[in-house]
């Protein structure tokens, strides 16, 4: 009897330990007694869902699910931020803004959007990159500002702007994916549009090849359309760098006589912040150009009329990407860009090797001019590949072919207008 009781006790203890472990693990995803996650828990979930991190138990959280978590916690962050304010109107405005944003985030149909992203094959696998990765990057940026809100209530304006753009991006992406889904099956209707090929007899002899080419075109066209949506986010990053450059110029101009510790720290902060933005933009377009080169090379051999008639343009685009756009985009890329070392050297000539607490000698005019000149040249490079001839090709011949295909779908009754 005593032995039996001992066994029961051991089982109970083991079960208790197991439940404690499970509650600690599940607690990283579940609500606290108050119904909301704390900042620590939000960080815990984010840390443990990073695929690069190791652990005995790992689980995946979609970036959009992280956005929902942020929306749930925004009210708590606003309450903490309100303690930093004394003006009642400002406090109420802060709380109202957080409530409105949280409500807008909660209205996203996460399941539908995530499912649509998984179905959107033009950007899956080796074809360019994962949409989830790019969405995750944008959400990480937004998370950074939200996490800082309790210490800096003034960031609410930035959070509003970033959230608004992110939600607009999700809406545009959803509409694009629906348009792509409506295009499925278009390749099977090629026999209804002999105008798409140079020789009408090709439809009889090479229909299967032409159907494959048409599907490849649709994947490329919608991939480029998706990247165009991301383009607005990257332009925001570049414009932010421009504003920071203007601010840096003001600081440098007043440091001709003496650099004080606060100026030193501001320059360091700007150096880090601008580099982060330049890396994000550089990595994005470097991967884009890498993927699209292969896709464009395939177009050279296509028998569809559009590509035969525009072969010279396609060849020129491939050359521009390989010789101009991709090298420029790769300057700050994590894949070994060379500009980052020059960037840091230019800042080092300004900051020197002394600590921010010590007194500093005046900044030499040549060092300041070299730094600003370097930054302006890099921004010009970015403008060059962001406004490349690819967009002319997308909005001209490629959009024209898509309109033809769409009309075929409308005429066949497989797509609604």
What is the C-alpha separation between 272 and 279, in angstroms, rounded? 11
Say what the pLDDT of residue 316 is: 92
Mention every residue, 6+ apart, whose C-beta is less than 8 A from residue 226. 120, 122, 123, 131, 173, 176
Say what the pLDDT of residue 194 is: 66
Say what the pLDDT of residue 81 is: 92
Tokens linked to 299: 């177009």
Say what the pLDDT of residue 10 is: 45
Strand partners, 360: 259
pLDDT averaged per 10 residues, the chain (length 417):
47 40 30 31 28 36 83 89 91 92 88 82 57 80 87 89 87 88 76 66 69 83 85 88 93 82 89 90 87 84 79 90 91 80 90 60 76 94 88 87 82 62
Tokens linked to 397: 């011949």
Residue 295: Cβ-neighbour burial (10 angstroms; 0-12, 13-18, 19+): middle
- Closest by alpha carbon to 306, among 190, 385, 180, 185? 190
SS3 category, 197: strand
> Does residue 96 contact residue 76 with C-beta atoms inside 8 Å?
no
> Does residue 183 contact residue 196 with C-beta atoms inside 8 Å?
no
> Does residue 119 contact residue 177 with C-beta atoms inside 8 Å?
yes
pTM over 0.75? The answer is no
Say what the pLDDT of residue 373 is: 94
What is the C-alpha separation between 7 and 13, in angstroms, rounded? 10
HEC string of 76-135? HHHHHHHCCCCCHHHHHHHHHHHHHHHHHHHCCCHHHHHHHHHHCHHHCCCCCCCHHHHH
Mention every residue, 6+ apart, whose C-beta is less than 8 A from residue 253. 368
DSSP secondary-structure letter at 304? B
What is the C-alpha separation between 126 and 49, in angstroms, rounded? 23
For the chain, which residues make up each domain, given as ranges? 29-183, 188-412
> Does residue 296 contact residue 315 with C-beta atoms inside 8 Å?
no
Q: 194-201: which pairs have CB atoms within 8 A and are 24 or more residues apart?
A: 195/305, 195/404, 196/304, 196/305, 196/306, 196/401, 196/404, 196/405, 197/303, 197/304, 197/305, 198/303, 198/305, 198/308
What is the C-alpha separation between 6 and 169, in angstroms, rounded? 61
In the block, which residue shows the tokens 């790019």?
Answer: 134
Say what the pLDDT of residue 357 is: 56
Say what the pLDDT of residue 110 is: 82
Say what the pLDDT of residue 353 is: 55
Say what the pLDDT of residue 199 is: 64
Q: 202-209: which pairs have CB atoms within 8 A and are 24 or more residues apart?
A: 202/303, 206/303, 209/303
CA–centroid distance for 372 within its chain: 27
What is the C-alpha separation between 361 and 359, in angstroms, rounded? 7
What is the C-alpha separation between 274 and 375, in angstroms, rounded? 10
Q: 274-279: which pairs have CB atoms within 8 A and are 24 or more residues apart?
A: 274/241, 274/244, 274/245, 274/375, 275/332, 275/340, 275/343, 277/237, 277/238, 277/240, 277/241, 278/241, 278/332, 278/343, 278/378, 278/382, 279/332, 279/333, 279/334, 279/340
């Amino acid at each position: 009897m005593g032995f039996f009781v001992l066994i029961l006790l051991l089982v109970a203890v083991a079960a208790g330990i197991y439940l404690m472990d499970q509650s600690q693990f599940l607690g990283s995803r579940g609500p606290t007694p108050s119904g909301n996650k704390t900042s620590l828990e939000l960080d815990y979930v984010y840390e443990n869902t990073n695929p690069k991190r190791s652990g005995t138990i790992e689980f995946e959280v979609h970036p959009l699910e992280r956005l929902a978590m942020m929306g749930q916690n925004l009210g708590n962050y606003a309450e903490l931020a309100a303690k930093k304010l004394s003006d009642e109107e400002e406090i109420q405005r802060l709380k109202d803004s957080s409530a409105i944003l949280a409500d807008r985030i909660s209205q996203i149909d996460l399941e539908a959007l995530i499912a649509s992203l998984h179905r959107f094959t033009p950007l899956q696998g080796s074809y360019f990159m994962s949409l989830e990765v790019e969405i995750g990057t944008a959400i990480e940026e937004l998370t950074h500002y939200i996490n800082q809100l309790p210490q800096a209530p003034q960031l609410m304006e930035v959070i509003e702007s970033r959230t608004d753009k992110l939600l607009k991006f999700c809406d545009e992406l959803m509409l694009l994916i629906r348009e792509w889904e409506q295009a499925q099956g278009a390749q099977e209707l090629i026999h209804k549009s002999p105008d798409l090929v140079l020789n009408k007899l090709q439809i009889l002899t090479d229909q299967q090849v032409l159907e494959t080419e048409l599907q490849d075109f649709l994947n490329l066209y919608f991939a480029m359309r998706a990247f165009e949506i991301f383009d607005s986010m990257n332009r925001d990053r570049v414009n932010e760098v421009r504003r920071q450059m203007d601010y840096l110029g003001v600081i440098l101009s007043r440091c001709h006589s003496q650099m004080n510790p606060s100026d030193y720290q501001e320059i360091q902060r700007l150096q880090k912040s601008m580099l982060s933005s330049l890396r994000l933009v550089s990595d994005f377009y470097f991967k884009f150009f890498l993927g699209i080169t292969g896709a464009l090379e395939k177009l050279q051999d296509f028998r569809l009329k559009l590509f035969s008639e525009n072969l010279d343009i396609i060849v020129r685009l491939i050359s521009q990407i390989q010789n101009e756009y991709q090298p420029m985009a790769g300057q700050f890329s994590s894949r070994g860009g060379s500009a980052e070392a020059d960037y840091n050297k230019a800042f080092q000539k300004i900051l020197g090797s002394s600590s921010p607490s010590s007194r500093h000698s005046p900044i030499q005019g040549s060092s300041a001019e070299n730094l600003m000149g370097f930054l302006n040249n890099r921004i010009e490079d970015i403008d060059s590949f962001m406004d490349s001839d690819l967009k002319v090709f997308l909005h001209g011949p490629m959009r024209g072919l898509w309109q033809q295909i769409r009309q075929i779908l409308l005429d066949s009754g497989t797509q609604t207008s």
